[in-house]
Amino acid sequence: MSSASDAISNRTSQSALPWALWLRQIVAILRYELHKNFLGRRAILIYLLALLPLFPLLLFVLFAPFGSEGNPVGVREIYANLYNGVILRTIVFFGCAWIFMNLFRGEIVDRSLHYYFLSAVRREVLVVGKYLSGLVTTVVVFTATTALSLLLLYTSRFQPQGFLQGPGVNHLLVFCGITVLACIGYGAFFLIVGLFVRNPIIPALLLYGWEWLNFLLPPLLKKISVIHYLNSLMPVPVYEGPFAVVAEPTPAWIAVPSMFGVTIIVLALAGYRIRHMEVRYGSD
């Protein structure tokens, strides 16, 4: 009787999914890819993009008297428009496009993807590891840009206690959280584009136009975009112009889970795609 139960338990243990092994492989892929993302030759463009909004703010700090009086509401509106138009829609968008599309497309261009395919790693595990590496890279770089730009603008117009005593700290956390969600949403989209499309530039430009024209779309179509859910979380409303179609913002309890839900679906699709993918360098 005991031998029969031992045999059943052995078969159960053998059929159990090797989660511990997959986790170790994900961590190993993550560490290797982070080294490439932060120190590889393709990282130069990311750093230039991240520094782009900081240069005019540095000039503003140099030529504006430190702690000079100003309108706190006006400064918050200035930053909200700067963040929405420059950091979120441009810097984060193209930064995610560059990082996530190159996770697999760059390997094909460099003719190195087959090394991963020849290793004893499930391809779905490879997708998760590479996606997390891109997510960590973009979150670290672009949340730093978000925080530094906000601090530069605030400290150029007010004493530091003005930032600490008002809603500055809360706004800083919210803006950084929106940046993280943008990296999650845009990253998943560009990862799947890099897997399915041989020339990913065209889909990226189409999405860029769709995101920028979001303010002109009817309320139903607005929800088929990443920027709508991100704008719904903005702590300071952004004026989109006299021709904007007004739509009710999506509550945070819907916007945030929706972003994660869509990301999980896209990653599952990416895992299915890469499982049936063959490397053909000659056709790329």
pTM of the model: 0.87
Residue 188: phi and psi, rounded to 5, are -65, -40
Nearest CA to 36 among 98, 93, 120, 121?
A: 98
CA distance 41 to 89: 24
Give exposure, 123-136, as e/b (b: 16+ Cβ within 10 Å): bbbbbbbbbbbbbb
Residue 153 burial (CB < 10 Å; 0-12/13-18/19+)? buried
Output the tens digit of pLDDT for each of the chain's 284 residues. Answer: 445 444 444 444 445 779 999 999 999 999 999 999 999 888 999 999 999 988 877 777 676 655 445 566 667 788 888 899 899 999 999 999 999 999 998 888 888 888 888 888 999 999 999 999 999 999 999 999 999 998 887 776 555 555 666 677 888 999 999 999 999 999 999 999 988 887 888 888 999 999 988 888 888 888 888 998 999 999 888 877 777 787 888 899 999 999 999 999 999 999 888 888 877 765 55
Tell me how far CA of residue 252 lies from CA of 82, 178, 235, 258, 282, in angstroms: 22, 11, 11, 10, 47
